[in-house]
Each structure stands twice: as C-alpha cells, then as structure tokens.
Amino acid sequence: MRLLSFLVSLFLTNNVMAMTSYADLVDEVMPSVVNISTQREVIGQNEDTDNLMINPTLNGRESLGSGFFIRTEGYILTNLHVVDGSKKITVITNDDKHYDAKLIGKDIPSDLAVLKIDDKENKFKPVKFGDVDEARIGDIILAFGNPYGLGLSVSQGIISAKSRNIGIGEQQYIQTDAAINQGNSGGPLFNLDGEVIGVNSAIFKDIGANGVGFSLPSNIANWISNQLIDSGYVKRGWIGLKVAIGIDKYTDKSGFMVTEIDENSNAFSEGIRVGDIITSYNDKPATDLNEFIQITETMEPGQALRLKTISYGQETRNVVRVQEMPAEALKTITNKALTESKMYAQKQYGDDIFYISELKIAVKEANPRGLAVVKMERKSPLYNKGIEEGDIILEADRADIFSVDNLLDSIRNAAIDDFRPVSLFIQGIDNTFYVNIEMEAEND
C-alpha cells in the first residue's frame, strides 16, 4: 500500500513539475508570431493602440495587433479588423526585423485577413494547425500577442468553453480565461503540442468582466486562409435552406425546421420543403444550429450532405449535393457580419456620437430623423462637397435615415455593388440638396 501511495505521489509530482514551465514550447513557436503595426487616418488627436479587440474600428493614428506565419514564403494570418482601412502595414518579426506587408486577401464574415512580406534571403517558420475538434474544455492553452503595444508576450490559461456565439456573424468561438488584451487580436492560441487551435479575436468588455476572451477555431481559420492565398476569396458551400429549431407535430421529434428554401437549390430538387424537420445530418443529430450552418458553409461544392428529414410525419433520407454560395446569399451574410461588428465600433464614441469609418465622419442622430455631421476629416468623401459640420444627412439612396444603421446599410450595399456612388440628401443651414459620393475600396 505504501509502495502504491509512493508511486501515485511520484506520478503526480512529476506531472506537476512538468507543468511549471512552458519555456521550451514558447522558444519553439515564438519565431512564428509577429507584431503588426498599422497607420490609419485621424479623426481626433488621440493615439490608441490596437484594434480594441471587439471594437474593430480605430480612430487613432496607429494601431498595434498580432499575427502569425502560415507559410514559409511569408504569408501571415491575422484579424481583418487589425489591418482594414490601413494606409500602411508593418510587420515586426521576433528578431525585431521590420517589413512592409501587403494585404493578399480578406474575409469579412470570419474577420480574417492574409498578409505577405518578402525576404528573398530567409524563409519564415509557419505554425502547425491543430484540430480544434480534439480540444477539450479544461485543456491548457497559451495565447500570444502584443498587448497594449508592449511587445510580443505570452499568457497561459485553459479552454473555458467551445462553440460560443458572441454575436458576430454565424461563427463559433473558443472561450478562454488566458489574459487577452488590446493588441492581442490576430495572435495565435496554442495547445501544449505547439499547434494553433485558434486566432485571438475578441474580449468581453463589461464591468467586472475579466478572463473572458474568444478565439476563432483553427479549423475555420486554416480553411479560410488557404482559400485567400490560393484564390483571393472564400468559396462557401450553400444548400439553399434557412432553418430554425423546431418540432414535428406528427411525431414530436425535434430538429431543424426548414423555414425557407430556394427553388434553385439542390435541396429543393431533392424534395425538401418548408415545414420539413431535419433530424440529422451526416449522421450527427440536429441539435446545434450554428454548427450545422458552419459545416454546410465549409463543405466543398459537389460534396454530399446526408440528411434525415421528416415530412408530414414520414421519415426520409436525402442526399444533397452542396453548391457554391450565390452572390446574393454571400452579400447577406457579409452585410450581417459588417452590421454586427460595427455595433461595437459605434460604442467607442459613447451613446450619442458615432464614427463612420467608411465616410470618415462622426455623426449624431437628429430629431425627428437624420444624422447630424459632428466631425469630418479632410480625407472624407464628403469633404469639399458643400457639406459642413452641423448639416444633417436625411436620406441615402432615396431611403430615409433614422439611425446610423440605415446609413451603414446603404454604404455597404454600394460597396458590395462594386463600390457604386451613393446619393445623399443633405439639409444644410440655408438649403437642402443632393450630393453623390464615390465609395472606394480600402487596401485592395
């Protein structure tokens, strides 16, 4: 008995000792992690660091974030909100070398971007992507980043939860208690095998909230980054269905109820109709709606999706060939991601004043409708158009403006439609008038 107790004690002691330092692991992966510095336009005189994590639009002169190498040729993965809208991107490697970086591709729904730096004399050390599906709640992880612009650093924690929906698109996130702060956006989340299982993307900002950070899972990040490098855009799967949690009234079985179906989809051709209940897909029970959406979007066009459905109490099996997401459907999810991410950006100006990065203006909601221009930068497309601070934007593309969201919707629709001009109806001090503004792509 004493021998058994001794062996157990020795086993526990050795394991505790093994967890007292992560120095070897940090030395191994640190060359793959980079700091990212960007220069942006100024609306005020404040100079902030980072992307403010969950607040993606920065009004300061300089932003500091993080990223990591994913290919030896100098390809780097980071968050889109770290670099979007930047006029210059600088990458600082672990050996303190500075490189000008080029934006290779970006994906709005996932908030990811791929950069590239060139060095003909050196190869860069890419990370290894791990399988986040194998990660467990309670696993120890290491978060790398550039908090508050202090320089590359690492923090330790555990996976607190998986499949978190934090209100930015349909993406599911890993939750961790590792210290993730402003400047960590775009940095990697490593497991103890030295594999990246997430991209640090957001923190929960609330009174008394500490140790609540979110990382985009590695499986999604790897899939998106490969497509951005290989083709410059992300090809998403589509089955033409909109679903919600529901119960079949004939059998009381639960699953995903089909609420809408596109008649041009393969699902419609297979006989699936509104009101049908999907009880399983690819042999998985239909319980997690967001997981279902994510899986179908990441399937390659032509792949088979096996469904079990109930229609009027009768169970059937269907095989639906995944199609490439049509432009209109992609436009919808892109708009949703933009709208939800901008909700956080608006908060940085308080409850009353909002900064619209696309127009480089700050506005305040007017009564009974419209947005009053509070501040306008010289680089704003409204500058030298006869619009002055204090004027009110009443309409955008003939639609009444009652909130910032109304104006943002018009701007984003114009950007998606090849950056066509936007028509604004302005109420000035002495008169009202229409003005067309040209939308420009940033960093393309």
Tokens at 54, concatenated: 């969950």
| CA distances in angstroms from 228 to 225, 231, 257, listed in the order given | 5, 6, 33
φ/ψ of residue 46, rounded to 5: -70, 145
Q: List 64's β-bridge partners, or say none.
A: 37
Indicate the DSSP class of residue 148.
Answer: G
**Contact 50/151 with Cβ under 8 angstroms?**
no
Active site includes 98? no
DSSP letter string over 285-352? Answer: ETT-HHHHHHHHHHSPTT-EEEEEEEETTEEEEEEEE-EEPPHHHHHHHHHHHHHHHHHHHHHTTTTT
Could you tell me if 149 and 234 are in contact, meaning their C-beta atoms sit under 8 angstroms apart?
no
First to last CA, the chain: 70
Residue labelled with tokens 């990591």 = 68
Local structure of 116: helix, strand or coil: strand
Q: How far is CA 251 from CA 61, 255, 310, 312, in A?
A: 61, 12, 9, 9
d(CA 57, CA 341): 9
429 phi and psi, to 5 degrees? -70, -40
Q: Which residues contact 343 (CB under 8 A, 6 or more apart)?
A: 167
Task: Single out the catalytic residue among 185, 201, 215, 380.
Answer: 185
Write the DSSP symbol of residue 186. Answer: T
Q: Which residue out of 50, 84, 107, 111 is catalytically annotated?
A: 111
Helices 289-298, 218-231: axis angle to 10 degrees equals: 30
Active-site annotation holds for 9: no
Rounded to whole angstroms, the Cα distance separating 78 from 42 reads 23
Q: Which residue among 81, 177, 380, 409 is the active-site one?
A: 81
Residue 185 designated active-site: yes
Q: Rounded to an integer, what distance in angstroms lies between the CA atom of residue 87 and that of residue 40?
A: 6
User: Residue 434 has which token pair?
Assistant: 């229409």
Instruction: Give ∠ CA 43-56-327 in degrees, rounded to 5.
Output: 115
Give the residue numbers marked as catalytic.
81, 111, 185
